[in-house]
Amino acid sequence: MTPAWLLDIFAALMLVVAAVSAARLVTARPWVRGGAAAGPAGPDVDVAHLLMAIAMAGMLSASLTTLPNTAWEVIFGLMTAYFAWRVWRDAQANGVRALAGGHCAPHLAHSGAMLYMFLALAAPAAGGSGMADMGGASGSAMQTLEYPTLAFVFALILAGYSVWDLDQLSGRRYVLAGAGVQLATAHVPAMAGGAEPAAAALSSPAVTGDAASPSAPSAAGPLPGGSRGRGPGVRALLLSPGTTVGCRIVMGITMAFMLVIMI
Amino acid sequence: MSDIAVAGGSTAWRGGLGVAAQAAGKRVDARRALQLALAGVWLLDAVLQYQSFMYTKGFSQMLAGTADGNPSVIARPITWDATLVGHHLVLVNTLFATIQLLLGLGIAFRPTLRLALAASVAWSLGVWWFGEGLGGVLSGAASPLNGAPGAVIIYALLAVLLWPADRQAPAPFTAARAVGAQVARALWLVLWLSLAYFALTPANRAPGAVSGMISGMESGQPGWLAAIDRGAASLVTGQGLATSIALAVALVVIAAGVYMPPEIAKATLVLAMVVALVIWVVGEGFGMILAGGATDPNSGLPLVLLALAYWPAKAMTAPAAGTERTAS
């Protein structure tokens, strides 16, 4: 039997992801700033991460009670439909490659996997009471998934996206140092919806990969959203796409883990 | 896939790593793509190692079983290792799984690529001995259909061939970049000729050997895969010798293919991938992952990756200028 403490560790990781996603939402306040337009790391993604992380934590830990399975099925059904629509639009705009490599494709895979997990739970306690009893091979009363081939396919896809995300994240290390500066100087004003700050961002030293100017953060002036004095670094880090991708990597691996141990 | 700056609207959400980053992030050369595939396989191995079955005595018994038929110098350490695992099952298995997880993440994370590849070679060799009994190579149980010469030894080979160095530039194929074309071809030849040899051993060419091996894969598999296994087994029932000879001929052709002109080499590489996929699906049942209790996807999948590493360079995505700084 997969030890309960191991499942609890993964559940704790998911709660961290949920907290980070919630903090991103609260910090950026898209409902105030009109930044709700869906982007590759937009609020829709954070909402998706938040819901998925809570659902997974609830599945992993017997001590956590979240929503009933039916509610999650509806939520992830809607989420899957939404990201399928986004991927479809992306493919229409950017070609067939967007179906697998577009910004929304991993989110579609994640939500599809979540929907599958809730729909395919086949076993004695499919009532959302945690997965402490899950696992397929040792035979006792355990939660397993119907159509295990799908579980395997989803696990492969999720593992693939996770390593790809990690590669992309680490591949940008030369410009990541500047990204924080860029976020501090250009992104926050851009949240108001103006195109000019974004254009400025594209011409900033950070974009070209040059070393960021140490004076750049102060040039941004006080940050909106009450973060004055809290330091732009934390805020920039929280709102950076790297944080979103990091959350996605952790969730992808955890999801693959859950799928495999329920085969 | 990557979250990169897009001008306009809610830039703070989208981040802003810029055009240069986008271009660098999007380009991945053939070697890096294969490294990532290897990372994905390690990641899959890790989550498989976390399965419930691995936390039961069945896992240590499975390890102990690989000692059977091996010379005592090989078998004794395996037995010792299996006993150790049996005594500290939760700790040791969690450690095993976590190491594999770190290998996968380490290969995918560019700054730790070399360290992770080097560690994966060492780990693979250890697992090949203590976890797979050298793939049955010395016990007479090895067959191309059951995973010989061992999935992890192919991981190690891939790690060496995909090492981020350029000994030969321009290289005729990806696997030649790190070790040179001659060495890479020699390794390919040895691997596939050894598979041909194993296909012809007495145990594998017996009348019911191949069909028995395939039908043995049915247990616990989903219906569609069990049906494929049944069909394949009935197709070769009593045809052990003929099947073994046909398989061996195909394997020899594959082995020699990398010495041929590119067009012929491509054809033999396609044959290699087809054979590897047939082995993976029919002979190995996807490593028995769908039946539960598998520790890895077995040899079929890494053999496909290996064949891709030998694909003639012009047909592969050429390394784009500027990517070498960060990629592979």
Count Cβ atoms below 10 Å from residue B52 Cβ, excluding itself: 24
CA angle A164, A167, A171 (to 5 degrees): 140
Q: Mark yes or no for CB contact B21/A172 under 8 Å.
A: yes
Q: Suggest the residue from B29, B52, B323 to mutate for an interface test with chain A (most A CBs closer than 10 A).
A: B52
Residue A96 C-beta-side C-alpha neighbours within 13 Å? 0
Q: Is B286 on the interface with A (CB under 8 A)?
A: yes
Write down the pTM of the prediction. 0.82
In chain B, domain spans: 28-313
In B, residues 145-174, which contact A (CB 8 Å cutoff)? Answer: none
Residue B2 identity: S
pLDDT digits (tens, 9 = 90+) for A105-114: 999 999 999 9
What pLDDT tens digit does each residue of chain B (328 aa) get? 333 333 333 333 444 333 334 444 456 789 999 999 999 999 999 999 999 999 999 999 999 999 999 999 999 999 999 999 999 999 999 999 999 999 999 999 999 999 999 999 999 999 999 999 999 899 888 999 988 899 999 999 999 999 999 987 789 999 999 999 999 999 999 999 999 999 999 989 998 899 999 998 888 899 999 999 999 999 999 888 999 999 999 999 999 999 999 999 999 999 999 999 999 999 999 999 998 878 999 999 999 999 999 999 874 444 443 344 444 5
Query: Would you state the pLDDT for residue A235?
Result: 82
Q: Which of A77-86, A98-107, A192-201, B19-28 has the lowest mean pLDDT?
A: A192-201
Of B15, B24, B51, the CB nearest to A240: B15
Q: Is B223 on the interface with A (CB under 8 A)?
A: no
Q: What are phi and psi of B127, to 5 degrees?
A: -65, -35
CA distance A115 to A48: 12
pLDDT at A208 over 90: no
Of B17, B107, B292, the CB nearest to A136: B292
Neighboring chain A residues of B111 at a CB cutoff of 8 Å: 170, 173
Q: To the nearest whole angstrom, how far is the Cα of B151 from the nearest Cα of chain A? A: 17
Q: Which of A9-18, A79-88, B166-175 has the lowest mean pLDDT?
A: B166-175
First CA to last CA distance, chain B: 19
What mean pLDDT is predicted for residues A202-220? Answer: 34
CA distance B251 to B257: 10
CA angle B301, B201, B298 (to 5 degrees): 15
What mean pLDDT is predicted for residues A22-33? Answer: 79
Q: What are phi and psi of B312, to 5 degrees?
A: -50, 140
Q: To the nearest whole angstrom, how far is the Cα of B15 from the nearest Cα of chain A? A: 5
Look at residues A178, A189, A179 and name the one whose alpha carbon lies nearest to residue A220.
A189
Of B36, B50, B290, the CB nearest to A257: B50
Look at residues B41, B83, B87 and name the one whose alpha carbon lies nearest to residue B63.
B83
Q: Which two tokens stand for residue B88?
A: 């500290």
Neighboring chain A residues of B50 at a CB cutoff of 8 Å: 2, 6, 257, 260-261
Query: Would you state the pLDDT for residue A34?
Result: 56
pLDDT at A19 over 50: yes
Q: What are phi and psi of A121, to 5 degrees?
A: -60, 120
Q: Which residue has the tokens 């950026």?
A: A28
pLDDT at A217 over 90: no
Q: Which residue has the tokens 């321009």?
A: B170
Residue A111 identity: S
Cis geometry, peptide bond prior to residue B164 (ω within 30 degrees of 0): no
pLDDT at A37 over 70: no
For residue B163, the 8-state DSSP code is -
Q: Is A175 on the interface with B (CB under 8 A)?
A: yes
Of B9, B13, B16, the CB nearest to A186: B16
* pLDDT-based confidence at residue A40 (cuts at 50, 70, 90): low
Rg of chain A (C-alpha set)? 20
How high does pLDDT run on average in chain A? 74
More confident residue, B294 or A188: B294
Of B104, B222, B224, the CB nearest to A163: B104
